[in-house]
Amino acid sequence: MRRWKRLAMALMMWASFVLLPGQPTPKLDAAPAPLSGAGVGVTAAPPLYLPLIFKSDQYAPTRRVNAPYLNVADVVATNMPDMAIFWFGKVNQTENYADVRVGYNNTTLYIYVAAFDRRLWYDTPPSTGDLTAWDSATVYVNKTGNSGSAPGANAYRFDAALSWFESRAGYQAAYQGNGSGWTSTAVSFTTAAGYRGDYNNNVDDKGSALTFKIPFNSLGLSGPPTQGTVWGLSVLIHDRDSSSGSPAIADKTWPEANADVLRPATWGQLAFGLPTYSPPGYSSSQTVMIRDGQNGAIVPDAGVGGSTGPLCGGGLDYWTQWGDTNYGLDEDFAVQNQSDVADFPCFAKYYVTFPLTAIPSGKVIITATLTLHQTGGSGPASNGDPPADALIQVMTVAEDWDETTITWNNAPLAYENESGRTWVASVVGCGSTIAWPCVPRTWDVSRAVARAYAAGQPLRLVLYSSDSAYSTGKYFTSSETPASWNAAGRPQLDVRWGNP
């Protein structure tokens, strides 16, 4: 039966396919500190946060990350779960994958790059001119947006290489655009490195983390950009797997399509502030519920990464199997992340696609809510800490995917993060003290639905978290949970639409 449902869904997506162009207030959380590195204290009073209303329902021209403003002294150290997250790369024996977290406060842009890497190599002593020839990351920003055929004076490049215990001074470098390339500059910024593997350059490591703290005054600004300002952004991870550097390993880039570090027009977008949605005027309204098996709806979904079976990739080789394993027919899934990259086999994302054909044409999207039913989560951490709450974020996806083949390594990247984000606590007793379908958790996806509906597309979403604490995994039922006894536990989209 599921095979025919997949075929019908594929035909429906094909029929409605439209080519897309390339395109809560912070919670002070006592999260554990990141892997390593001292932070720069920020004591200046931040501005009043007023969310910007993005009035357009059109897709941005490329992948975008909407960075939240956070009224804290050090975003990475205290509010990592609130940071926006995106990712790129692959997990295997020779390629690297990276989670990138982004946020800002009144003085500083924070970017945290956590790379999954089987072999960590760094230079001793370092040479500023070849930092990117070792395990390292580069952040490119352009204050005039993702535009231009060459880096001008508003474009900056920040290199940070991996290190162990050494001073960071020799492991970072800044450059400014000169109209054709990059010129070394004394622009002030701070980096910190985290190392999860054997000391002294070795194999069988797990990964690393690099924190970039870029003061706005170093970029010629007196404070943060106005909410809604869009900069150009590109992030690269550089990989080295031997002391000789042979064979050379290609960089991984975001955005992944034709990103050229000398052409800002090929970069992605960094928007300051989370977007909000305000519907156009309407006269009357109705609500439609979309759920797999309800009125013929087909809602494919799949967890990727750690999933729930096997939990944390148990029994799989992390470098040859974990990233390429499919869980599309599982009855449940997990969402999990944390700052300690050594536990990456437990990290998990969730993909789901809802058809919007039940909404008549020519209507106004007023509100839309995603509901998932939570059945459990991670137990206590190995250090004895109780399970932590997770701030699960929702992002849109621009590409189609197949639930029978999707994996961590081939899943579409996030297109753009939405403002929908929900704190999810632990659940114990599902099916015993808590009746099925257990505990509903909801996300506001009004803007995402409005944009997909306007484009004639299904709603494609991915859920992930930017959490810091250990033991943040949360488990939910999927569209595969049996309709005979748990249809109400399947992922559900409720859309309220009106007449214009």
Q: How far apart are CA 385 and CA 381, in angstroms?
A: 5
- Whether 61 has a pLDDT exceeding 90, the answer reads no
- Whether 308 has a pLDDT exceeding 90, the answer reads no
Residue bearing the bigger pLDDT, 275 or 39? 275
pLDDT at 257: 72
Length in residues, the chain? 500
Given 250, 272, 294, the domain boundary residue is 272
**Residue 492 belongs to some domain of the structure:** yes
The mean per-residue pLDDT over the stretch 257-283 comes to: 93
- Whether 2 has a pLDDT exceeding 80, the answer reads no
Same domain, 285 and 181: no
Across all residues in the chain, what is the average pLDDT? 88
Same domain, 174 and 123: yes
- Whether 305 has a pLDDT exceeding 50, the answer reads yes
Tally of domains in the chain: 2
- Provide the CATH number for the domain around residue 53: 2.60.40.1190
Is the model's pTM score more than 0.85? yes
Residues 6 or more apart in contact with residue 361 via CB below 8 angstroms: none
309, two tokens = 């079976």
Using 50, 70 and 90 to split pLDDT, how confident is the model at 416? very high
144-157 residue pLDDT tens: 999 999 999 999 99
Q: 259, 251 in Cβ contact below 8 A?
A: no
6's enclosing H/E stretch is: helix 2-16
Same domain, 451 and 307: yes
**Residue 25 belongs to some domain of the structure:** no
Q: 350, 463 in Cβ contact below 8 A?
A: yes
Same domain, 202 and 296: no
Same domain, 189 and 302: no
**Residue 24 belongs to some domain of the structure:** no
The mean per-residue pLDDT over the stretch 136-140 comes to: 98
Same domain, 48 and 94: yes
pLDDT at 307: 81
**Residue 262 belongs to some domain of the structure:** yes
pLDDT at 280: 92
Q: What is the DSSP string of 201-226?
A: SBSS--EEEEEEEEEGGGGT-SSPPP
SS3 content of the chain, % helix, strand, coil (to 5): 15, 35, 55
pLDDT at 475: 97
338-397 residue pLDDT tens: 999 999 999 999 999 999 999 999 999 999 999 999 999 998 877 788 899 999 999 999
Q: Which structural domain range is residue 158 located in?
A: 31-272
Q: How far apart are CA 484 and CA 100, in angstroms?
A: 41
In which residue are the tokens 């970039």 written? Answer: 212
Given 272, 291, 310, the domain boundary residue is 272
Given 272, 289, 323, the domain boundary residue is 272
The answer to which of 74-83, 118-127, 402-411 has the lowest mean pLDDT is 118-127
Q: What percent of the chain has pLDDT over 70?
A: 87
**Residue 236 belongs to some domain of the structure:** yes
Using 50, 70 and 90 to split pLDDT, how confident is the model at 201? low
Same domain, 285 and 257: no
Cα-Cα-Cα-Cα torsion 134, 258, 406, 476, nearest 10 degrees, comes to 80
Same domain, 238 and 380: no
The mean per-residue pLDDT over the stretch 84-108 comes to: 97
